[in-house]
């Protein structure tokens, strides 16, 4: 056991970044919703698998998700600012 879950954090970072990029570049609303839903489902399933397999507590996974989400938002914001310069 370790805090935070590395798997949950890495996947939250990846899938949050994908959702942000999908929302920026995909114009088709149903496709945008479908792709974003798939990303959320994958992140949730991976996090739940860590608990199910007994390798992390729920708090470890939640901490990983929160850190991954925060990291993605920070990186995306920095990238957006770079594009505007």
How high is the pLDDT of residue 56?
Answer: 93
Could you say which of 7, 20, 47, 67 is catalytic? 7
Determine whether 7 is an active site residue: yes
DSSP 22-79: HHHH---HHHHHHHHHHHHHHHHHHHHHHHHTTSS-HHHHHHHHHHHHHHHHHHHHHH
Domain residues for 75? 6-84
27 domain residue, yes or no: yes
Determine whether 56 is an active site residue: yes
**Average per-residue pLDDT for the chain:** 94
Q: How many domains does the chain have?
A: 1
Give CA–CA dist 15/79, Å, rounded: 16
1 domain residue, yes or no: no
How high is the pLDDT of residue 2?
Answer: 81
How high is the pLDDT of residue 60?
Answer: 94
Could you say which of 5, 15, 56, 68 is catalytic? 56
How high is the pLDDT of residue 44?
Answer: 95
Listed as ranges, residues in the chain with pLDDT below 70 are 1
């Amino acid at each position: 056991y370790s805090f935070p879950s590395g798997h949950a954090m890495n996947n939250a970072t990846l899938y949050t970044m994908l959702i942000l990029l999908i929302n920026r570049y995909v114009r088709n609303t149903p496709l945008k919703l479908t792709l974003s839903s798939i990303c959320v489902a994958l992140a949730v399933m991976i996090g739940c698998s860590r608990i199910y397999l007994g390798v992390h507590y729920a708090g470890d996974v939640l901490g990983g998700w929160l850190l991954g989400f925060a990291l993605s938002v920070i990186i995306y914001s920095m990238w957006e600012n770079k594009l505007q310069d």
